[in-house]
Structure 1
Amino acid sequence: MEELVREEIGSFVATSTENCFPDGEPYFAAPLVGFAAANDPLFADYKRIIGPFHLAPAEFLAGAATVICWVLPISRPTRESNRRQQHWPSREWSMTRTYGEQFNVALRRHLVAWLTGRGQRAVAPQLAPEWRALDDCRAGVASSWSERHAAYAAGLGTFSLNDALITERGIAHRLGTVVTDLALVPSPRRPADHRHNCLYFREGSCGRCIGRCPTGALSPAGHDKERCREYVYGAVPAAVEAEYGVSQTGCGLCQTAVPCEAAIPGSLLRPGGKRA
């Protein structure tokens, strides 16, 4: 059954006309798919790590058994266009943030309908009435469900200095989740450390995302979510919305022109521990 789910998601990504720029170039490449057990202790831990407002799978769907998670890698031409940017995201990146995420919403709904048609119950937390955004005094900018943390639980990647998820297809992507009562075999979490794929934490090298941030929201201390939000949802749309024709622009500069853009990066250290 796990392979059937992967095939259904992969087929929708490959064939949907919603996953395309006007010229036919896809927003996203072939997806990665993983599964987390709804009763994985991590989801209880997230109420401590993220905050008590973060909901467990069973709080979205009574009798939940599995969280289906996917990674939609952003297409190479779009990533290349954003590598060249220094201050604002590229037009292609911004269109992917708006129209690519609309496709991602369609994928969430499609998978829920597909599971329901097979006699299962399912819900996409991001589209459920229980989902909400909030500013928590401890967690800062947050929400009642984190698709990044669900994807980590499903073995799809580990966290980076900029708080994003570095997967085997890199950090430039969008994520999606569906909670279902269908019991699927959980995907293994191979790295022992939740930041293993980030070179800054793994070996003390890199940190290139810091220099890519045009607003100073990244530093060795981590990610200033409030400064990032003000830039992404304030300064960037004000500067490029009229030109690009989209109001949800994203930014993604720290996700491109970095070693983890499209893969888990190899070491930047020479033998003996010196920086290459």
Structure 2
Amino acid sequence: MDEIISAEIRRFVQEESGNRFGESGERYFDDPLVGFAAADDPLFLKYKEVIGEFHLTPEELAETAEGGCWHPRTVICWVLPITEATRASNRPETMYPSRAWAQTRHHGETFNTSLRRHLVRFLVERGHRALAPQLHPGWREYGETPVGIASSWSERHAAYAAGFGTFSLNDALITERGIAHRLGTVITDLALTPSPRPYLHHKINCLWHRNGTCGACIGRCPVGALSKEGHDKRICRDHVYGTIPAKVAEQYQVASTGCGLCQTRVPCEGKIP
């Protein structure tokens, strides 16, 4: 079933029209990476310490799922790498994202939600229980926590548990396809083989954390949300969800724009540096 699930996610990404720009027909995302984490991996309990008690475990999500309580066994995770063409369009930008980047953030995430729903339906039709944490009624965002803005389920931390990559100075996840991507997760009662975590520690893919070099993302941030001390989520959020949409959302014909400057024109843009 491991390969059946992976193949279905790849098929959906390759074939569905929602993964394509309306004008050109080019894809928002390249072929996905797919991996699995055990639902009872101790990391999910650890996240209650690292992120906050409000961060839900797979067990807690399944206990409060619509349709009744069930026992989760696997967290299915995927990485949707943003295409080279879209990343290239964002590299020259210095204040706002490119049009292609903004449309990928808006329409691409709509597609990602469709993929979450599709995979849940795919599993349920085969007799399994499944849920998408991002669509669960218990999903919440918290504005004031010890770690700043956070939510009750982190797809980045789930992806770390599934062996996809480690965290960067700007808090994003550096995978083998780099840092420019979207992530998705579905929890199921189907037992799948957990993916290995081939890293020494949770920040090793970032050159700054590994040996004190780079820091290119600091200079890419137009509002000073990044420094050697890390990521100021409040400054970042005000720019990404306030200033940028007010300036270019209507022009780009989207509601959410993203930013992505610190994810492009940096050594980790499309690979582990």
TM-score by length of 1: 0.95
Cα distance in 2, alignment partners of residues 188 and 196 from structure 1: 16
Deviations 1:173-205 (A, max 9, x none): 000000000001100001011001100011111
Aligned residue number for residue 30 of structure 1: 31
Deviations 1:74-119 (A, max 9, x none): 0111000000101100000000011000000000000000000111
Cα distance in 1, alignment partners of residues 92 and 230 from structure 2: 24
Aligned residue number for residue 56 of structure 2: 55
Whether 1:250 aligns to 2:258 is yes
Aligned residue number for residue 271 of structure 1: none
Q: Which runs of 4+ in 1 moved over 3 A?
A: none
The one-letter code matched in structure 1 to 2:118 is H
Aligned partner (choices 70, 77, 91) of residue 69 of structure 1: 77
In the TM superposition, residue 206 of structure 1 has moved relative to its aligned partner by 0.5
Cα distance in 1, alignment partners of residues 147 and 171 from structure 2: 13
Stretches of structure 2 lacking an aligned partner (at least 5 in a row):
63-69
Cα distance in 1, alignment partners of residues 267 and 224 from structure 2: 19
Aligned partner (choices 179, 200, 203) of residue 195 of structure 1: 203
Cα distance in 1, alignment partners of residues 144 and 12 from structure 2: 36
SS in 1 for 2:192: coil
Whether 1:21 aligns to 2:21 is yes
The one-letter code matched in structure 1 to 2:90 is N
SS in 1 for 2:34: strand
Aligned residue number for residue 169 of structure 2: 161
Cα distance in 1, alignment partners of residues 145 and 19 from structure 2: 37
Aligned partner (choices 152, 156, 160) of residue 160 of structure 2: 152
Aligned residue number for residue 65 of structure 2: none
SS in 2 for 1:179: strand
The one-letter code matched in structure 2 to 1:8 is E
Stretches of structure 1 lacking an aligned partner (at least 5 in a row):
266-276
Whether 1:181 aligns to 2:189 is yes
Cα distance in 1, alignment partners of residues 227 and 152 from structure 2: 26
Aligned residue number for residue 273 of structure 1: none
Aligned partner (choices 236, 247, 270) of residue 239 of structure 1: 247
Cα distance in 1, alignment partners of residues 125 and 5 from structure 2: 13
In the TM superposition, residue 59 of structure 1 has moved relative to its aligned partner by 1.1
The one-letter code matched in structure 1 to 2:104 is T
Aligned residue number for residue 133 of structure 1: 141
TM-score by length of 2: 0.96
Aligned residue number for residue 129 of structure 2: 121
RMSD: 0.6
Cα distance in 2, alignment partners of residues 130 and 139 from structure 1: 20
Aligned residue number for residue 104 of structure 1: 112
SS in 2 for 1:13: helix
Cα distance in 2, alignment partners of residues 102 and 247 from structure 1: 11
Cα distance in 1, alignment partners of residues 99 and 145 from structure 2: 34
SS in 1 for 2:17: coil
The one-letter code matched in structure 2 to 1:106 is S
Mapping of 1:217-236 within 5 angstroms?
217-236=225-244
SS in 1 for 2:104: helix
Cα distance in 2, alignment partners of residues 158 and 140 from structure 1: 19
Aligned residue number for residue 269 of structure 1: none
Percentage of identical aligned residues: 63
Deviations 1:140-189 (A, max 9, x none): 10100000000000001100000000000000000000000000110000
**How many residues get paired?**
265
Cα distance in 2, alignment partners of residues 192 and 60 from structure 1: 29
